């Protein structure tokens, strides 16, 4: 595939040239896609007979990401040329450069380019900001043409474009040359030729000023299609052949502003070059120049669009993707996580991570395992970086951090970095064999909510870190998607790890929780993968690993309650041929579970339980309730967009009401007269009930989740706390002991 960027000053005719070139390439048998990257969105109109595709940016504004269909923004033009327009805001508002970045992200999601063998980017005049420079990044254009006339401002813009290219390429050769679009002004040939000679570029085509273009435009066609001027058609066909046969490419060698003036005005003397003749390359790169480093080939595009539910449902975003990506990344404990962000973004993230640690100090005496002082660094983007770009500061910071020799550096971008188009992937070139630099283009909340940032972190880090060529180590498992914001995550891990140890199994990698760079790198060593949570995000991750790494997953999440734990143990043990050990563990626990049930029955049997909850899986409570003889009188399931409806495997007639209306709680209390009320959050109506308890959104794992809760109810019932327990300091402490 060849990707060609055509840059030129606004109004210089680059859209007309691009469309004619696309048409000529298509006639020569190429499968061509033309992407208009100008907010004017008229790049492709001559290919589509004036029909305007819905621009990518208008489309994204009004369409739910799950409903995206590439056909909605892709038109078929002359000779099958695919036509896409990025679009953009009205002049003077918004940020058109950011629009280019969003459009390219969208096209990457669709893998649209893979359907074509030639891509033409028609890009707005000057390289005005990082966004408009996206097509000249290394992962896009292989060949760059610069359109100019002999007017000073057109040549000034051409020189600026060369500056933009040099910022990305240094000495790399990607510029094919100049497309000279004649305006027929005085001394024009000489201006262009002197400029071409000074910057060391050939003039690849000279397009005469001709009425043929005007006539073709009147009929909304290219000259190629209209066929009115054979000479012009030949110019484009020759150019198409040149491209197809492989153009010679040159490094960008822009002039200083002073020199540009001198060169164009001819104050330095005669050029001695004839129009139509390729000027000599006066500043070709020296032989033996150091090779320009190229980013390793990692496909960071998300072809399958791992989107959070908030993004899909266009709900208000909870947190930002930057924050989510940072919060997960800090779990690679031997890496430094570098926020390419203003100080305030890093501060918010630091608070998010550390406050959950502090909060846990006060709750039930348990310390959250997440470090209270995570390995965060920040580039502290400010006004100057927003105006002039933040890459220099980012590179400097990466070099500074490298000096401290962490195991790795993870760079995460925030909104401002994304808006100004900083290509943070470039700092991956600063990696050493022993000190990798990996990147997550979260771009703050440009990319989505906290969960979206988590997903981007999981998938980006996996793609950059995990090695596929590692040998499988027998009797090892990975644990995937432990929740980072749940305070008993490590307790749950201990329970699961206890079972695994009994089965003779070792944990290879916790992805991503309190882990190390090396264990992530060796992810593929594990024989089996265990999903901690099988909710929406957990399932996305399972699909991601299965699809991209061929990972084998055990089908159930970490088990909650007796029946699930029994089944989970049997399943995992069967995979490793350890069935007997599993049966031994189960029978030990069965005995102790039944002892507990027997002890609780006298207090709980016949009691009435009402549950109003966001949890959509309650079997672990219901099985224990049934075992101890509690009557379940009402289950009200509250609507929770992150879950998928009430599910049970118990074969019981259950009084379930889905989409429960919380306004009915008081009347239902009156009606069902429960002894025990179970809700997610303590509520004012709890005072009306003998025992009110809260149900955790992420319950403990293992055999005893349900029975432990029932034990608490029994204790509260025995204590007969109604009406007085809130005042009784002693009992309060005992309850939380």
Nearest approach in angstroms of CB 301 to ligand SF4 is 22
* Closer residue to ligand SF4 (CB): 34 or 323: 323
Scanning 80-88, 340-348, 400-408, 544-552 for contacts with ligand SF4 by CB under 6 A, the matching segment is 340-348
* Closer residue to ligand SF4 (CB): 319 or 561: 319
Nearest approach in angstroms of CB 414 to ligand SF4 is 4
Decide if residue 322 touches ligand SF4 (CB under 6 A).
Answer: yes
Scanning 272-280, 316-324, 400-408, 594-602 for contacts with ligand SF4 by CB under 6 A, the matching segment is 316-324
DSSP state of 149: -
Please pick, from the candidates 323, 329, 459, 519, the single residue that binds ligand SF4 as defined by CB under 6 A. Answer: 323
Decide if residue 124 touches ligand SF4 (CB under 6 A).
Answer: no
Residues contacting residue 327 through CB under 8 Å, at least 6 positions apart: 349, 352, 353, 450, 453, 454, 484, 485
Residues 671, 677, 680, 686: is their CA dihedral positive or negative?
A: positive
Residue 510: beta bridge partners?
479
* Token pair listed for 148: 């100019």
Nearest approach in angstroms of CB 469 to ligand SF4 is 36
Decide if residue 517 touches ligand SF4 (CB under 6 A).
Answer: no
Give the position of tokens 């491209």.
Answer: 243
**Rounded alpha-carbon distances, angstroms, from residue 641 to 293, 315, 542:** 46, 9, 20
Decide if residue 368 touches ligand SF4 (CB under 6 A).
Answer: no
* Token pair listed for 92: 């003077």
Q: Which of 14, 172, 397, 441 is catalytic?
A: 14
**14 in catalytic set:** yes
Decide if residue 350 touches ligand SF4 (CB under 6 A).
Answer: no
Q: Which of 38, 105, 126, 627 is catalytic?
A: 126
In terms of C-beta distances under 8 Å and separation of at least 24 residues, what long-range contacts does 635-639 make, across chains too?
635/610, 635/611, 636/610, 636/611, 636/612, 636/660, 636/662, 636/664, 636/665, 636/668, 637/613, 638/612, 638/613, 638/614, 638/662, 638/680
Residues 133, 293, 146, 21: is their CA dihedral positive or negative?
A: negative
What is the DSSP pairing of strand 173-181 with strand 250-251? Answer: antiparallel
* Closer residue to ligand SF4 (CB): 85 or 443: 443
Decide if residue 320 touches ligand SF4 (CB under 6 A).
Answer: yes
Query: What is the dihedral angle through the alpha carbons of 322, 324, 327, 333, rounded to the nearest 10 degrees?
Result: -80
**Rounded alpha-carbon distances, angstroms, from residue 729 to 254, 515, 687, 720, 735:** 77, 41, 18, 15, 10
**234 in catalytic set:** no
Please pick, from the candidates 348, 505, 635, 707, the single residue that binds ligand SF4 as defined by CB under 6 A. Answer: 348
* Closer residue to ligand SF4 (CB): 125 or 448: 448
Size of the site for ligand SF4 (CB under 6 A): 10
Decide if residue 324 touches ligand SF4 (CB under 6 A).
Answer: no
Please pick, from the candidates 83, 106, 247, 345, the single residue that binds ligand SF4 as defined by CB under 6 A. Answer: 345
Decide if residue 444 touches ligand SF4 (CB under 6 A).
Answer: yes
Measure CA 452 to chain center. 7
Q: Cβ-closest residue to ligand SF4? A: 444
Please pick, from the candidates 415, 509, 691, 714, the single residue that binds ligand SF4 as defined by CB under 6 A. Answer: 415
**40 in catalytic set:** yes
Please pick, from the candidates 222, 414, 551, 705, the single residue that binds ligand SF4 as defined by CB under 6 A. Answer: 414
Peptide bond between residue 512 and the one before it cis (omega within 30 degrees of 0): yes
Residue 647: beta bridge partners?
617
* Catalytic (active-site) positions: 9, 14, 40, 126
Residues that bind ligand SF4 (CB under 6 A): 320, 322-323, 341, 345, 348, 414-415, 444-445
């Amino acid at each position: 595939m060849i990707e060609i960027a055509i840059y030129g000053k606004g109004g210089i005719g680059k859209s007309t040239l691009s469309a004619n070139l696309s048409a000529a390439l298509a006639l020569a048998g190429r499968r061509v896609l033309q992407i208009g990257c100008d907010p004017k969105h008229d790049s492709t109109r001559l290919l589509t007979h004036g029909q305007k595709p819905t621009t990518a940016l208008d489309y994204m504004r009004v369409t739910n990401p799950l409903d995206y269909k590439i056909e909605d923004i892709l038109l078929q033009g002359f000779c099958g040329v695919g036509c896409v327009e990025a679009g953009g805001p009205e002049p003077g508002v918004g940020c058109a450069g950011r629009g280019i970045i969003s459009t390219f992200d969208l096209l990457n999601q669709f893998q649209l380019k893979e359907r074509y063998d030639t891509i033409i980017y028609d890009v707005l005049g000057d390289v005005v900001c990082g966004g408009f420079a996206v097509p000249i990044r290394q992962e896009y254009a292989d060949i760059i043409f610069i359109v100019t006339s002999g007017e000073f401002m057109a040549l000034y813009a051409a020189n600026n474009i060369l500056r933009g290219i040099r910022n990305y390429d240094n000495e790399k050769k990607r510029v094919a040359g100049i497309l000279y679009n004649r305006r027929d002004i005085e001394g024009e040939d000489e201006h262009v030729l002197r400029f071409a000679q000074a910057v060391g570029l050939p003039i690849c085509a000279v397009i005469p000023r001709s009425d043929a273009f005007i006539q073709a435009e009147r009929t909304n066609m290219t000259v190629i299609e209209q066929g009115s001027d054979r000479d012009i058609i030949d110019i484009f066909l020759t150019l198409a052949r040149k491209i197809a046969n492989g153009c010679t490419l040159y490094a960008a060698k822009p002039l200083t502003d002073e020199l540009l003036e001198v060169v164009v005005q001819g104050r330095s003397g005669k050029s001695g070059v004839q129009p139509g003749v390729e000027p000599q390359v006066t500043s070709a790169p020296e032989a033996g120049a150091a090779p320009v480093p190229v980013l390793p080939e990692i496909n960071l595009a998300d072809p399958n669009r791992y989107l959070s539910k908030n993004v899909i449902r266009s709900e208000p975003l909870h947190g930002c993707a930057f924050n989510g990506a940072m919060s997960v990344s800090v779990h690679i404990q031997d890496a430094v996580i570098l926020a390419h962000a203003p100080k305030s973004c890093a501060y918010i993230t630091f608070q998010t991570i550390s406050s959950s640690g502090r909060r846990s100090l006060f709750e039930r005496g348990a310390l959250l395992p997440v470090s209270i002082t995570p390995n965060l660094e920040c580039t502290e983007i400010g006004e100057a970086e927003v105006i002039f770009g933040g890459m220099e500061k980012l590179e400097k910071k990466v070099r500074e951090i490298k000096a401290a020799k962490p195991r790795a550096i993870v760079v995460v971008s925030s909104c401002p970095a994304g808006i100004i188009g900083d290509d943070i992937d470039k700092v991956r070139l600063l990696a050493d064999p022993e000190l990798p630099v990996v990147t997550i283009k979260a771009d703050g909340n440009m990319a989505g909510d906290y969960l979206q940032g988590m997903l981007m972190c999981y998938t980006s880090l996996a793609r950059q870190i995990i090695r596929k060529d590692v040998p499988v180590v027998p009797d090892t498992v990975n644990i995937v998607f432990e929740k980072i914001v749940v305070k008993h995550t490590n307790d749950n891990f201990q329970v699961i790890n206890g079972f695994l140890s009994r089965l003779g199994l070792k944990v290879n990698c916790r992805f991503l929780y309190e882990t190390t760079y090396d264990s992530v790198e060796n992810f593929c060593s594990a024989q089996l993968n265990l999903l901690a949570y099988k909710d929406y995000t957990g399932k996305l991750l399972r699909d991601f690993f299965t699809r991209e790494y061929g990972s084998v997953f055990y089908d159930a999440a970490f088990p909650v309650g007796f029946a699930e734990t029994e089944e989970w143990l049997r399943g995992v043990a069967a995979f490793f041929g350890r069935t007997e050990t599993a049966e031994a563990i189960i029978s030990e626990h069965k005995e102790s579970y039944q002892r507990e049930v027997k002890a609780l029955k006298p207090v709980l049997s016949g009691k009435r339980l009402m549950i109003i909850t966001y949890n959509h899986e309650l079997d672990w409570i219901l099985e224990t309730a049934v075992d101890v003889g509690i009557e379940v009188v009402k289950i009200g399931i509250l609507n929770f967009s992150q879950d998928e409806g009430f599910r049970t495997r118990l074969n019981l007639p259950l009084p379930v009401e889905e989409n429960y209306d919380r306004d009915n709680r008081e009347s239902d209390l009156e009606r069902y007269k429960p002894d025990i009320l179970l809700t997610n959050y303590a509520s004012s109506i709890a005072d009306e009930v003998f025992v009110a308890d809260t149900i955790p959104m992420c319950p403990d794992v293992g055999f005893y989740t349900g029975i432990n809760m029932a034990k608490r109810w029994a204790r509260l019932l025995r204590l007969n706390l109604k009406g007085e327990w809130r005042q009784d300091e002693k009992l309060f402490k005992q309850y939380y002991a």
